[in-house]
Chain A
Amino acid sequence: MDFPLTFWDISLWLAVTAIVLLITSELISPYYGRTNLLINKKRLKNTALTVSILFLATVTIRIANIIINP
């Protein structure tokens, strides 16, 4: 009865989600021109950045692990 995903699975999932969200937020940005989508673009952009930062944090933890336990 353990949670089946490891830390690295979560990291990969965060990476894929971050890419999808970042591309979506760029495509619906007012500068790109698709402004007729009825969602709160600022919040989507913030979520995309948060998920990206979380992914980068997992990468930092991985690098730190490699350095500390070579």
Chain B
Amino acid sequence: MYQVKIGLIHIVITTMLTLGAIAILASIIYTSSILAFIGLGLIFWGAILTYVKPEEHIKKTILEAALSPSHSTLHQVIQELAYRGNATYLPPKYFKNPETTRIYIPKLKGDTTLPTPEQIQEHEHKLFAQNPQGITIAPPGLQLSKLVEKSLGTSFIQTDLNYLQQNLPKPLIEELEVAENIEIQVQEEKTGKKTNVEQTTSQPKSITVNVKITNSIYANLYRETETPTQSLTSIGCPICSAIAIALTKASGKPVKIKQIQSSEDDNTTEATYEIAEE
């Protein structure tokens, strides 16, 4: 069906360009401005149609059908191996190649201890870590984050949180069209820490980032997974994961997805990230 449509577009474009050229030639021969306008219009719109022809598009239902089994498999693997901790997106300093990003999921629920960069680098390409016990996997939004980096023309490592807040939504909405709207809000929670009787210093305790995603193309991904585990929820959907990768690379600190909430009609997803202080 798609091939038929493409073939039809080619025929329409060729006809417009040919008729346009004939009309221009006739306008010169008969000195007719009307023919000239018709010819210009046909050639112009023929050229425009050639130029704005779509890149490769796939239907949303096919995308969901292709993604869903791998998502369910990831869910099953994590559940059966009993990795119950919250996922943490590790920053580039944990890896030999600074462009690498992986997720670390501890074995025990509530375990907040992160391995050291040396421990991760020792087993960088291995799935399971023994000390502390956990699993390191590639994030589901890894390739999406690379596409965003390509659109922005920069690596997230060279950016900061302010840059992400202002520039991250545009490629996701306008270029990649994976969501209709994305709002990013950064909140710094400061705490008063007494160093001695008279001096009180205020320093950032943790940074919370709230992201509101409207009409994401991955909104129905969780429907197939009946009861997503805590670990799976903390990994997030591909867009949430790509944003977490951007945050961890830009801040250089581990990032956790604290909460993901979807509206009843699945139109809006609100994700809360915590940039952990080390």
| Contact status B28-A1, CB under 8 Å | yes
CB-defined contacts of B44 to chain A, threshold 8 Å: 17
Residue A7 is within 8 A (CB to CB) of chain B in the complex: no
> Which of B32, B53, B181 contacts A39, CB < 8 Å?
B53
Min CB gap B116→A, angstroms = 43
Chain B residue nearest in CB terms to A6: B33
Instruction: Tell me whether B174 is interfacial, beta carbon within 8 Å.
Output: yes
Q: How far is the CA of A68 from the CA of B48 in the complex (A)?
A: 36
Contact assessment for B29 and A1 in the assembled complex, using a CB-CB cutoff below 8 Å? yes
In the complex the two chains form, what is the Cα distance from A30 to B173 in whole Å?
7
- Does B55 lie at the interface of the complex (its beta carbon under 8 Å from any beta carbon of A)? yes
| Chain B contacts with A in 160-178, Cβ cutoff 8 A | 173-175, 177
A47 close to B37 (CB less than 8 A): no
Whether A3 contacts B27 in the complex (CB less than 8 A), given A31-B173, A35-B180, A38-B57, comes out as yes
Residue of B nearest to A5 (CB): B36
Query: In the complex, what's the smallest C-beta–C-beta distance from A25 to chain B, in angstroms?
Result: 10
Which residue from chain B places its CB closest to the CB of A32 in the assembled complex? Answer: B180
A3 to B31, CA, bound (A): 7
Q: Which residue of A lies closest to B217 (CB)?
A: A35
For A17, list chain B residues within 8 Å (CB).
44
A1 neighbours in B (Cβ, 8 Å)? 28-29, 31
Complex-state Cα separation, A33 to B215, whole angstroms = 10
The answer on a CB contact under 8 Å between B177 and A35 is yes
B192 within 8 A of A: no
Interface digits, A9-43 against B, CB 8 Å rule (1 contact, 0 not)? 10001000100010000000111010100111111
Residue of A3, A4, A38, A41 with highest tally of chain B CB at under 10 A: A4
Question: Would you call B54 an interface residue if the criterion is a C-beta within 8 Å of the partner chain's C-beta atoms?
Answer: yes
Q: How far is the CA of A29 from the CA of B40 in the complex (A)?
A: 26
Task: Mark contacts of B119-152 with chain A using CB atoms, 8 A cut-off: 1 yes-contact digit, 0 otherwise.
Answer: 0000000000000000000000000000000000
Task: Report B-chain residues with C-beta under 8 Å of the C-beta of A49.
Answer: none
Contacts known (A2-B28, A4-B28, A9-B33); A38 close to B175, Cβ less than 8 A: no
Partner of B53, one of A4, A33, A40: A40
State the A residues within 8 Å of B (CB): 1-5, 9, 13, 17, 21, 29-31, 33, 35, 38-44, 47
Q: Which 10 A-B pairs have the closest CB atoms?
A: A38-B54, A4-B33, A39-B52, A44-B52, A40-B52, A5-B36, A43-B52, A4-B36, A4-B31, A30-B173
